[in-house]
């Protein structure tokens, strides 16, 4: 425990590191250099203050809550009406027994308009078992100052006040996060829906977000979270997380079950050692004269993001658990796609997502949250460079927009400090394929964004999403019952279009108050002549599932046993949380020729769970393939075709010769 004597010191290195050991309440101050006007530290009975002349940060002693942020003449940017523990804090959701191996750190640099924070979590061999349900760093800002939210260049708006969400000003809708603004303080917001999940982003897009103060008579102030890397987030680049929302609340989420499912959180058993650095996150503060447009502060924050990205990995952190640039490695390579029904030659995997994650099964990176992940996008020729990789053993994973399925490199990749690994041979991804495409629905991009998204019920509208990201509106699932009150969706190949005729989610039908029914969609298509004795292939790629079970039948809806069933599937909750994707799944269904007929055929897609409004499926892409034809040359190279015909001809000649000998 710290002494109660008030002390102060000046960092002679130009930076200050504060270390908080959870449960032990130990502090460590690092101060090394000769700068006359460096960062000052004041240690008092109940708080510790960091001050670099631009920003002053107050941290409670000994618990480590950020109780105050002073900047640009404002005594405190954090909500002064909140208790100390509810202003700025690290949030860890773990199982009951928990763990003592956690460190929270704050770093302030000389001349920096902000401060850094990061956490180091450790589970030692012999520690109690525990589950890490989620962790994040949260700041609650002053509601009398911050009302303008900015999470991307196009997703910016003036937000409601927290009291607007509380009755009688607000009315809770189908779940507690969604609130209809009945009588908000600002009348122009009346009739809108507020829900924090409307402001979620893919991990790859969470780089800078925050709030701008909007008091006309005061200088504008921006409070921003800047994350130049997402290596420490779980679930890969497509994992969706919360950003900023009504409070005003601004947070960086490192791990959560959102859009993934509670069953995918990391679990640590006795004897499993683990350590991970979460962050650092840079809390950046900027300002402008009164009346300045909020976009100016947003633009400045983005410029700061670029500066932080150039400095990543940071060289000023004292922790040995955070590797510097010379302690990391690089992996270079090239990835191609081989689909002979698309091209006779291997084609570059343009814009492929290529990443390193802990060893696992194909596609396991979607739910892997214990380790670090390092991702990049391939160039026009399929080449890629994965930079700043921690030392360790990894599998290389990839997926390619425009093609179904996942790729995993066959060899383990071991990265050491200073390595620049060149993968000598081109990586070749062969997506699932048996025969030519007879028809397809959608675009294989792991989202349902290309499908029909209905207009929002006007009484639930959020004006931010009337023309962009329309799937983020509240209550769209109810519009299915409006469009299809008694019969379900029927899609006819060659006459329907997926942009207009394929609803973005196969949800339940509402029959009455809290009464729902399962739904069955139909795909109708013609076959001129069924190739008897063969197997056709139905590829069903799903962008999201929640409490759903999909059954597939061919030409007979009444058959008791479906031709294919998925069983119970994941609960990523993307429908309720205004997502357009969750976790990706791919099913490859064998379709026997005797299930088909010449002329019109019908595929029945039954989502058989109907207990609530949010059970359902988002499709990514559906493709129906002709049988693989060993006796034909479709999909074969010329050399393969010649070899096949030569082999077949020889076998026929041998058979004829044997038959003649037998008859003689």
DSSP helix/strand/coil, 251: strand
What single-letter DSSP state applies at residue 128? P
Which one has a higher pLDDT value, 69 or 31?
69
Which one has a higher pLDDT value, 58 or 645?
58
Q: Does pLDDT of 2 surpass 60?
A: no
Residue 218 is predicted with a pLDDT of 84
Return the sign of the alpha-carbon dihedral for residues 152, 380, 229, 136: positive
pLDDT tens figures, 589-625 = 999 999 999 999 999 999 999 999 999 999 999 999 9
Among residues 420, 224, 445, the alpha carbon closest in space to that of 326 is found at 420
Q: Does pLDDT of 415 surpass 90?
A: yes
At residue 648 the predicted structure's pLDDT band, cuts being 50, 70 and 90, is very low
Beta pairing partners, 157: 149
Report the pLDDT averaged over residues 185-193: 97
pLDDT tens figures, 132-149 = 999 999 999 999 999 999
pLDDT tens figures, 331-386 = 999 999 999 999 999 999 999 999 999 999 999 999 999 999 999 999 999 999 99
Report the pLDDT averaged over residues 60-78: 95
Lowest mean pLDDT among 2-6, 277-281, 337-341: 2-6
Among residues 321, 312, 153, 302, the alpha carbon closest in space to that of 229 is found at 312
Residue 613 neighbours by CB distance under 10 Å: 21
* Cα separations in angstroms, 389 against 136, 244, 491: 23, 29, 46
The tokens for 419 are 């390595």
Q: Does pLDDT of 650 surpass 60?
A: no
At residue 99 the predicted structure's pLDDT band, cuts being 50, 70 and 90, is low
Q: Does pLDDT of 27 surpass 60?
A: no
Lowest mean pLDDT among 108-112, 571-575, 651-655: 651-655
Residue 92 is predicted with a pLDDT of 87
Place of tokens 């921006």: 222
pTM above 0.85, yes or no: yes
Residue 118 is predicted with a pLDDT of 97
Among residues 262, 204, 265, 213, the alpha carbon closest in space to that of 238 is found at 204
pLDDT tens figures, 504-513 = 999 999 999 9
Q: If you average pLDDT over every residue of the chain, what do you get?
A: 90
Round to whole Å and give the CA distance between 364 and 236.
10
At residue 35 the predicted structure's pLDDT band, cuts being 50, 70 and 90, is very low
Round to whole Å and give the CA distance between 344 and 228.
40
Among residues 155, 152, 208, the alpha carbon closest in space to that of 465 is found at 155
Return the sign of the alpha-carbon dihedral for residues 208, 211, 217, 219: negative
Q: Does pLDDT of 292 surpass 80?
A: yes
At residue 657 the predicted structure's pLDDT band, cuts being 50, 70 and 90, is very low
At residue 215 the predicted structure's pLDDT band, cuts being 50, 70 and 90, is confident
At residue 664 the predicted structure's pLDDT band, cuts being 50, 70 and 90, is very low
Place of tokens 């507690």: 176
Residue 608 neighbours by CB distance under 10 Å: 15
Report the pLDDT averaged over residues 566-585: 95
Per-residue HEC secondary structure of 268-285 comes to: ECCCCCEEEEEEEEEEEE
* Cα separations in angstroms, 409 against 231, 237, 333, 355, 360: 20, 18, 11, 10, 11
* Cα separations in angstroms, 34 against 12, 38, 51, 210, 215: 4, 8, 17, 35, 41
Kindly state the percentage of the chain with pLDDT values over 70: 88
DSSP helix/strand/coil, 367: coil
Residue 530 neighbours by CB distance under 10 Å: 17
Q: Are 412 and 422 in contact (CB under 8 A)?
A: no
Helix (H) or strand (E) holding 301: helix 294-311
Residue 74 neighbours by CB distance under 10 Å: 16
pLDDT tens figures, 425-471 = 999 999 999 999 999 999 999 999 999 999 999 999 999 999 999 99
Residue 4 is predicted with a pLDDT of 27
The tokens for 606 are 């039954």
Among residues 318, 247, 330, 223, the alpha carbon closest in space to that of 280 is found at 318
Residue 98 is predicted with a pLDDT of 52
């Amino acid at each position: 425990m710290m002494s109660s004597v008030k002390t102060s010191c000046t960092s002679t290195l130009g930076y200050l590191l504060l270390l908080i050991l959870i449960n032990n309440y130990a502090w460590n101050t690092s101060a090394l250099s000769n700068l006359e006007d460096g960062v000052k530290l004041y240690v008092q009975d109940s708080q510790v203050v960091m001050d670099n002349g631009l920003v002053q940060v107050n941290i409670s002693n000994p618990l480590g809550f950020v109780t105050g942020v002073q900047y640009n003449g404002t005594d405190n940017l954090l909500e002064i009406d909140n208790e100390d523990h509810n202003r700025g804090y690290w949030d860890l959701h773990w199982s009951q027994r928990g763990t003592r191996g956690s460190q929270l750190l704050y770093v302030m640099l000389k001349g920096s308009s902000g401060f850094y924070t990061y956490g180091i979590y450790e589970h030692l061999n012999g520690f109690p078992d525990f589950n890490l349900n989620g962790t994040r760093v949260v700041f609650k800002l002053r509601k009398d100052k911050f009302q303008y939210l900015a999470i991307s260049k196009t997703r910016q708006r003036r937000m409601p006040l927290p009291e607007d969400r509380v009755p009688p000003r607000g009315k809770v809708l189908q779940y507690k996060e969604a609130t209809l603004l009945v009588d908000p303080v600002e009348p122009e917001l009346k009739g809108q829906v507020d829900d924090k999940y409307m402001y979620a982003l893919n991990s790859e897009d969470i780089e800078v977000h925050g709030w701008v103060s909007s008091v006309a008579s005061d200088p504008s102030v921006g409070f921003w979270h800047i994350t130049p890397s997402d290596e420490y987030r779980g679930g890969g680049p497509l994992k969706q997380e919360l950003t900023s929302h009504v409070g005003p609340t601004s947070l960086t989420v490192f791990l959560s079950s959102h859009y993934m499912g509670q069953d995918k959180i990391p679990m640590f058993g006795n004897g499993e050692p683990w350590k991970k650095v979460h962050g650092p996150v840079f809390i950046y503060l900027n300002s402008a004269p009164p009346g300045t447009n909020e976009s100016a502060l947003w633009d400045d924050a983005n410029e700061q993001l670029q500066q932080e990205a150039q400095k990543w990995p940071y060289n000023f952190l004292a922790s040995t658990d955070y590797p510097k640039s010379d302690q990391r490695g690089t992996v270079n390579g090239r990835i191609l796609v081989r689909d002979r029904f698309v091209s006779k030659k291997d084609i570059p995997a343009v814009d492929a997502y290529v990443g390193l994650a802990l060893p696992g099964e194909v596609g396991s990176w979607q739910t892997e949250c214990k380790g670090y992940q390092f991702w990049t996008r391939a160039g026009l020729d399929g080449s890629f460079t994965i930079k700043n990789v921690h030392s360790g053993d990894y599998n290389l994973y990839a997926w390619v927009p425009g093609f179904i399925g996942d790729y995993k490199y066959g060899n383990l990749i071991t990265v050491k400090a200073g390595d620049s690994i060149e993968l000598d041979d081109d990586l070749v991804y062969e997506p699932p394929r048996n025969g030519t495409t007879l028809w397809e629905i959608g675009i294989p991009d792991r989202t349902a964004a290309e499908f029909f998204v209905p207009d929002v019920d006007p009484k639930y509208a959020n004006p931010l999403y009337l023309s962009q990201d329309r799937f983020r509106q509240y209550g769209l699932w109810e519009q299915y019952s409006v469009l299809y009150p008694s019969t379900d969706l029927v899609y006819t190949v060659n006459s329907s279009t997926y942009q207009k005729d394929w609803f973005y989610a196969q949800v339940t039908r509402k029959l009455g108050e809290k009464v729902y029914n399962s739904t069955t969609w139909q795909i109708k298509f013609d076959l001129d002549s069924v190739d008897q004795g063969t197997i056709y292939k139905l590829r069903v790629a799903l962008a999201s599932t929640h409490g759903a079970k999909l059954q597939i039948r061919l030409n007979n809806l009444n058959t008791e046993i479906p031709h294919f069933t998925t069983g119970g599937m994941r609960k990523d909750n993307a429908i309720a949380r205004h997502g357009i994707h969750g976790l990706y799944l791919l099913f490859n269904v064998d379709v026997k020729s005797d299930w088909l007929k010449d002329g019109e055929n019908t595929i029945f897609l039954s989502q058989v769970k109907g207990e609530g409004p949010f059970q359902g499926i988002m499709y990514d892409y559906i493709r129906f393939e002709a049988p693989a034809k060993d006796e034909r040359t479709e999909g074969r190279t010329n050399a393969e075709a010649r070899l096949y015909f030569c082999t077949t001809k020889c076998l026929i000649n041998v058979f004829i010769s044997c038959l003649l000998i037998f008859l003689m």
